[in-house]
Amino acid sequence: MKNKCLYIQTFGCQMNVHDSEQISALLSGIGYQQTDNIKLSDLIILNTCSIREKATHKVYSQLGRIGKLKEQNPELIIGVVGCLAQHLGTKFHRKEDCLDFVSGTQNIHLLPEIINTLIKDRKKITEIDFHNSLSAMNIFATPGKDRISAFVTIMQGCNNFCSYCVVPYLRGREISRTSKDIIEEIIKLVDLGIKEVTLLGQNVNSYGKNLNDGSNFTSLIKKIGEIFGIKRIRFTTSHPRDLSLELMNCFAEEEKLCSHIHLPVQSGSNRVLELMNRGYKIEEYTKKIDYLRKISPQISITSDIIVGFPGETVKDYQETIDMMEKIRFDSTFSFKYSEREGTAAQKLEGKIPEDEKLIRLEKLQMMQNKHTLEKNIELERSLQELLVEGESKNSKSDLMGRTSSNKIVNFRGEPDLIGKFVEVEISKAYLHSLKGKIKKSKEACIVY
Ligand code: SF4
């Protein structure tokens, strides 16, 4: 059978990145090889995101361009998957005539059947039912050649209903994979050379709640820590309310757990946190940060912040700024509030004008950049253990590695160090990366 070419473009979060890896693995089973050249493709899939307005606009613009390719090649199959596909369903077909299929967030496992049906009969297909099954999460995606780290989905969906968020509507309720399935997947990944895993879920802290077998996220991390060959464990994303003492203690007790936590705070104002339905007060959040820093002094803490939430007063905004001054995050993803259809926040009064949101965002980001740079400067002259991931983006003669605290370090080194752990001294700090230097001989710098 002649191989056909598949082009996938991914928008949004790491869950989507991993879903795209799984789609590619599944479709290779029916003869599609992934390509970077959209013009050579027989099948184009956009893995969409609808978390913010901007992400949806990008999808529509790309579909406009892709539609023109179909005019030149009527055999081309075009489909959308992911959150925006889940949200719009059949409406997507009405909006974008070039689409052959729309497949929702819990239907990845149906893609081979969808494509085979389309090859026989070009009738438009929509599959957006929630199956609440583990089929999609259990698809094994073989990591690309030379990969040393991999994503592993441990759960999907969310039960939290933060008032601004569409995830519970588009990804469904929380459902966790069994620890047996997760461990088996990680052992397979280790056999393929993977040394670091990032455990994925919308709220990994509530892992295991639906399993009723006593499993929780901490016990899962400990079991993964016992797998020979796994050297580093990361996870994303956590909800601050569900960050238990037991899980925080893991940062001190489980040596394979990396010294980094992404803990979205969203606002420094208790009034706004309540409007957001976040379920914690800022004092509880800062207490958890203090504890994490006490038991794991090297830990880096990153966060998400929304500015201009409906009803956010100047005082509320100032409380966010004060909270950031106090905590000094290593970095943050910050956004202007973006109204999403069907959410509780859509009905809130006190919408903030766009230009005001922009002013607030720019001020906050300037302050964060200052903190990020200061945090990076604190690492100058320190010794850091890196997992070397590959060539540096800055220069072909440099390599790039990552610290346990998730900082990128570029350093001069030979390609045979890729995939190894090395120790470097940080010589210079920048806003988005660090520069390092191998202190000892090449052999001596290899940690393992
Ligand atoms: S915790 Fe809140 S923000 Fe995160 S996915 Fe669930 S509803 Fe959305």
23 CB near ligand 1 (under 6 Å)? no
Mean pLDDT of 6-24: 94
Whether residue 396 has pLDDT greater than 90: no
Q: How far is the CA of 380 from the centre of ligand 1 (A)?
A: 36
Atom of ligand 1 nearest to the CA of 159: 6
The reply to whether ligand 1 has any atom less than 6 angstroms from the CB of 162 is: yes
Cβ of 261 less than 6 Å from ligand 1: no
Mean pLDDT of 382-408: 95
Cis peptide before 237 (omega within 30 of 0): yes
Identify which of 141, 159, 139, 235 has the alpha carbon closest to the alpha carbon of residue 196.
235
Q: Please compute, for residue 335, the number of CA atoms within 13 A of its CA located in the half-sphere on the CB side.
A: 15
Q: For the segment 143-160, what is each residue's pLDDT rounded down to a tens digit?
A: 877 789 999 999 999 999
Instruction: For ligand 1, atom 1, name the residue with the nearest CA.
Output: 160
Mean pLDDT of the region 365-377: 98
Whose alpha carbon is nearest atom 4 of ligand 1?
202
- pLDDT for 421 equals 94
Look at 49-63, 252-266, 308-322 and tell me which has the smallest mean pLDDT: 49-63
CA of 162 to the centre of ligand 1 (A): 6
Look at the pTM and tell me if it is higher than 0.85. yes
Q: Say how many Å lie between the CA of residue 392 and the centre of ligand 1.
A: 34
pLDDT digits (tens, 9 = 90+) for 243-299: 999 999 999 999 999 999 999 999 999 999 999 999 999 999 999 999 999 999 999
Each residue's pLDDT tens digit, 61-81: 999 999 999 999 999 999 999
The predicted structure's pLDDT at residue 3? 80
Q: In the chain, pLDDT over 90 holds for what percent of residues?
A: 88
Indicate whether residue 155 lines ligand 1 (CB < 6 A).
no
Q: Among 129-138, 172-181, 320-329, whose mean pLDDT is lowest?
A: 129-138
Atom of ligand 1 nearest to the CA of 202: 5
Q: How confident is the model at residue 443 (pLDDT cuts 50, 70, 90)?
A: low
pLDDT interval class at 53 (50, 70, 90) = confident
Q: Is 13 in the pocket of ligand 1 (CB under 6 A)?
A: no
**237 CA to centre of ligand 1 in angstroms:** 9
Give the residue, out of 83, 105, 162, 277, with the most ligand 1 atoms within 8 A of its beta carbon, to mutate for a pocket test. 162
At residue 442, the pLDDT reads 54
Average pLDDT, integer, range 421-439: 95
CB 140 less than 6 A from any atom of ligand 1: no
Radius of gyration over alpha carbons of the chain, in Å? 23
| C-alpha span between 186 and 10 (Å, rounded) | 24
Q: What confidence score (pLDDT) does residue 217 get?
A: 97
Name the residue of 202, 204, 333 to mutate for ligand 1: max ligand atoms within 8 A of Cβ: 202
Q: How far is the CA of 188 from the centre of ligand 1 (A)?
A: 30
Stretch 110-120: mean pLDDT: 95
Rounded to the nearest whole angstrom, what is the distance from the C-alpha of residue 441 to the centroid of ligand 1? 47
Per-residue pLDDT at 320:
98
The pLDDT of residue 2 is above 70: no
Q: Is 320 in the pocket of ligand 1 (CB under 6 A)?
A: no
For ligand 1, atom 2: residue with the closest CA: 162
Q: Mutation test of ligand 1: which of 239, 263, 274, 303 has the most ligand atoms closer than 8 Å to its C-beta?
A: 239
pLDDT at site 299: 98
pLDDT of residue 445: 65
> Which is the closest atom of ligand 1 to the Cα of 237?
4
Predicted confidence (pLDDT) at residue 441 exceeds the cutoff of 80: no
Q: Each residue of 195-254: pLDDT tens digit?
A: 999 999 999 999 999 898 889 999 999 999 999 999 999 999 999 999 999 999 999 999
Average pLDDT of the chain to the nearest whole number:
94
**Which atom of ligand 1 lies at the shortest distance from residue 277's CA?**
2
